[in-house]
Amino acid sequence: MHLKALQELLEGLSYTCERGSLDCQVQAVVYDSRKAGQGCLFVCIKGANYDGHDAAGDVAAKGASVLVVQREVVLPSQAEVTVIRVENTRYAMAHIAAAWFGHPAKKLTVIGITGTKGKTTTTYLVKSILENMGRKVGLIGTIEVIIGQKHIHAVNTTPESYVLQEYFAEMADAGCDTVVMEVSSQALKLCRTEGFVFDYGIFTNLEPDHIGPNEHDSFEDYLYCKGLLFRQCRVGIVNCDDVHWRQVTQECSCSLETYGFSADADLRASDLVFTNRQGHLGVGFRVSGLWEMDAQIAMPGRFSVYNAMTAIAVCRHFGASKEAVKKALLAAKVRGRIETVRVSDDFTVIIDYAHNAMALESLLTTLQEYEHGRLVCVFGCGGNRSRDRRFEMGEVSGRLADFTVITSDNPRFEEPEAIMEDIVTGIGRTGGAYIAIPDRKEAVAWAVAQGRPGDIIVLAGKGHEDYQEIKGVKYHMDDRELVLACSGLAKADRDTDSIDKGK
């Protein structure tokens, strides 16, 4: 049985013992009242829809040894339980969890990446480069958690502090020496990453996002939370082309390095060359400043260069060779992030997670920089989400794509046709050509069947997701599989006039 002294778990925290004794042993650390049991320490967390403080009495009745609270709780008079009062139970839980698992982050080099865009791709690039030079790297992010050969589906971009420390411990036990992780603004706001220090903290960019109920009250709050990473890391690496970088780092306690296209950047990118070889888009560029080298990345666009520069800026601290970096950048492929799926040497099919207007505009603008035939965009919008997103995405695709295929994407409890009508309204503001095909499988097959030499066909919105959510049920659906199922289509079967008709 795993036992720890309560005083060991509370070490370094400011607290008051309001009831009971500090001289006790803890058998488990729990923050879900349904999992509470004999001898556990229960942390009362106030969430968006439920407050753990309300369950304190029931948890005490189940035999919990310790309650950690930030306000008064109602307990049975006969309950033999220690009550620890702290200012913030989320902050306390992060430190308690780190102590419970033996401070595993101290056994790892921890790299944290924050920003509106680029976090996911950059974590995989860093992992690829460091593994090419012999390090064993764990990964925590939006898509998955990777520990050795084990892949765990991600629930949150950055998991709750207890789960995060559990992953760190498992990585250390598996022989990992490094972990690269995405750090969301919500995680920073909710203290999920307290209890340890990042060796490297990275800022990619900042744009208005995640502002609303249960997220951030304002853009200022969003910006402030991003900046918290730089009070919790040893070395900060930031994109100085982003207009917010000085605000994000203004109260930092770390050393700082910059990267970007700016002549003032410590690590600079220049001389971009866009490549399109047999349906695969990429970009070559020159690196100068702290490092001097030519590089290529097998992903399209300027933002891919930013992602690559972020990875280079981090990995040079590990003594990576330039050859290892070049090799890793060319080999890197991130599921659902500007991911090319090979169908034909004549045209390109790309899958991307772009699921809001900002991301879709960035993606389509990037692809316009390449020599191409037609730019075709296939997308839908999720149900039971903001209707504004539908109008905005429709307007972006109508304005930037040569043709749009409107389809379904997680309609949830709404009718797909109603969602699509809103998208049509957005496209109508631009006069862009489109066709509406509610069944996503049919929509993808139709778009691929129309492929002509030089075309770029973008399947936007789902990215790494492998399901379609309809009326509370998730049905298996993977854009990759849909595309590959179309790859055997004979050119003779293609109705090459349909797109031009702008149905």
Report d(CA 315, CA 177) in Å as an integer: 14
DSSP state of 51: B
Local structure of 150: helix, strand or coil: strand
- The pLDDT of residue 279: 77
- Write down which residue in 297, 331, 365 finishes a domain: 331
Cα dihedral value 168, 172, 174, 178, nearest 10: 80
Same domain, 315 and 206: yes
The secondary element (H helix, E strand) that includes residue 56 is helix 56-61
- Write down which residue in 68, 100, 132 finishes a domain: 100
- DSSP assignment of 418-431: HHHHHHHHHHHTTT
Q: What is the CATH number of the domain that holds 197?
A: 3.40.1190.10
- The pLDDT of residue 120: 92
Query: Which stretches of 63-218 are DSSP H helices?
Result: 89-100, 119-132, 161-173, 185-189
- Write down which residue in 58, 85, 100 finishes a domain: 100
Same domain, 433 and 343: yes
Same domain, 76 and 126: no
For 267, the token pair is 């690590």
Report d(CA 346, CA 279) in Å as an integer: 6
Each residue's pLDDT, cut to its tens digit, for the chain (503 residues) gives 689 999 999 999 999 999 999 999 999 999 999 999 999 999 999 987 899 999 999 999 999 999 999 999 999 888 899 999 999 999 999 999 999 999 999 999 999 999 988 899 999 999 999 998 899 999 999 999 999 999 999 998 999 999 999 999 999 999 999 999 999 988 999 999 999 999 999 999 987 554 444 555 677 888 888 899 999 999 999 999 999 999 999 989 899 999 999 999 999 999 999 998 877 899 999 999 999 999 999 999 998 999 999 999 999 999 989 998 998 898 888 889 999 998 888 999 999 999 989 889 999 999 999 989 999 999 999 999 889 999 999 999 999 999 999 999 999 999 999 999 999 999 999 999 999 999 999 999 999 999 999 999 999 999 999 999 999 999 999 999 999 998 654 333 444 444 543 43
Q: How many domains does the structure of the chain reveal?
A: 3
Same domain, 87 and 184: no
Task: Give how far the C-alpha of residue 25 lies from the chain's centroid of Cα atoms, to the nearest Å.
Answer: 38
Q: What's at 350, amino acid-wise?
A: I
Per DSSP (E only), the strands in 28-140 are 28-30, 40-43, 66-69, 82-85, 109-114, 137-140
CB atoms inside a 10 Å sphere around CB 385:
15
DSSP state of 348: E
Same domain, 467 and 453: yes
Same domain, 374 and 279: no
Same domain, 343 and 255: no
Local structure of 401: helix, strand or coil: coil
For 176, the token pair is 């990992």
- The pLDDT of residue 1: 67
Place of tokens 């060796």: 199
Q: What's at 10, amino acid-wise?
A: L
Residue 129's alpha-carbon distances to 146, 320, 411, in angstroms, are 15, 8, 38
Same domain, 396 and 453: yes
- DSSP assignment of 160-195: -HHHHHHHHHHHHHTT--EEEEE--HHHHHTTTTTT
Same domain, 264 and 388: no
- The pLDDT of residue 493: 42
Same domain, 302 and 370: no
- The pLDDT of residue 214: 54
- The pLDDT of residue 215: 57
- The pLDDT of residue 174: 98
Is 319:133 a contact under the CB 8 Å cutoff? yes
Q: Supply φ then ψ for residue 139, to 5 degrees.
A: -135, 140
- The pLDDT of residue 278: 76
Q: What is the CATH number of the domain that holds 63?
A: 3.40.1390.10
The residue range of the domain holding 127 is 104-331
Report d(CA 125, CA 180) in Å as an integer: 10
Q: What is the CATH number of the domain that holds 380?
A: 3.90.190.20
Is 366:301 a contact under the CB 8 Å cutoff? yes
Same domain, 326 and 415: no
Same domain, 216 and 351: no
Regarding beta strands 348-352 and 339-340, do their DSSP bridges make them parallel or antiparallel, or are they unpaired? antiparallel
Place of tokens 């700016």: 262
